[in-house]
Amino acid sequence: MHITTGSTSVRAKPTDDQLDIYALTHQGMVRTENQDHFLVCQLKKQMEVLHTSLPNVSVIPADQERLAMLMMVADGVGGHFGGEEASRVAVKAVAQYLSESVHVYYTVDTTDDSVFAEKLAAAALRAHERVLERREANPALGRAATTLTLWIGVWPRVYLVQLGDSRYYVLKGDDLVQISRDQTVAQDLLDQGVLTPEQASRGRWSHTLSNAIGGVESHPVVTSIENDWKYVHLLCSDGLTKHVSNDQIKERLQAMTSAQQACEALLQDALDAGGTDNITVVVGRASKGV
């Protein structure tokens, strides 16, 4: 588990009505099924689901102060049934773990990144266990696995838990920064100097995961960064980044009129470029009082 830290902001936490968040998922133009799942929710003393692709998840009203904001993207691999099952099980397992232990977010010292990171990594490992249990109970799932990119905002910090290659970007003014690292065999070989960037982007290892929920290797990587009112946050599956460049993403986020408009524009960009994979996009920002 790796932890990266930075300085802490002192600005007031955005209120619920100052948040602009939207999420969507699409099967794309080629695939006949969608193996992506996402979840966006607030953590209070109970969980209030705002957007999700998961079926039969009830919205639970809550009047308490928001303790944290949670966003997740999971991109399943392992065939039609297996991939969808793995991503769905992973997202549900993390949501259940965090909702059952929500007291962590008002009892743990969030200025101590190491303690807080351990709690978040434990949620990812719970998801890994659930996927393995589901595979053992149903051999038809084969080697089903999934990426997991878990974003949690505990003002004034953001914590990212990542396994796989679903990405997290932050737009900071004129700079689009990829906070996540693609956990693929190609990226590992690129880092070692075995492959060139062109080879890594086009080779057969480019989308072979080296770290995943349900994979041979499952090691949550936790990163902590400072948040700011002016930042725009983006989570996505690789169905977006296969077709939409970082420059295009930056342009869309800089020109956004709302989180919904940005999500829909980015989705259309990916579809217009071929839409060869499932596409999931989550965008969030503080939209008022900036």
pLDDT of residue 206: 76
Residue 140: pLDDT band by 50, 70, 90 thresholds? confident
Q: What is the pLDDT of residues 81-125, one digit of tens each?
A: 799 999 999 999 999 888 776 655 555 555 667 777 888 899 999
Rounded distance, CA 35 to CA 84, Å? 4
1, pLDDT greater than 50: no
pLDDT of residue 9: 41
pLDDT of residue 119: 84
| Count of C-beta atoms within a 10 Å radius of residue 159 | 22
Q: Please compute the mean of the pLDDT values over residues 165-172 and round it to a whole number.
A: 98
pLDDT of residue 103: 59
Rounded distance, CA 263 to CA 258, Å? 9
Rounded distance, CA 277 to CA 33, Å? 10
Higher pLDDT, 71 or 6: 71
The answer to whether 207 touches 165, Cβ cutoff 8 Å, is yes
Between 109-118, 145-154, 231-240, the lowest mean confidence (pLDDT) is in 109-118
Bridge partners, 157 (sequence order): 154, 226
289, pLDDT greater than 70: no
What residue ranges define each of the domains in the chain, with the CATH number in brackets?
A: 16-286 (3.60.40.10)
User: What's the chain's average pLDDT?
Assistant: 87
Write down the pTM of the prediction: 0.88
Q: Please compute the mean of the pLDDT values over residues 253-279 and round it to a whole number.
A: 98
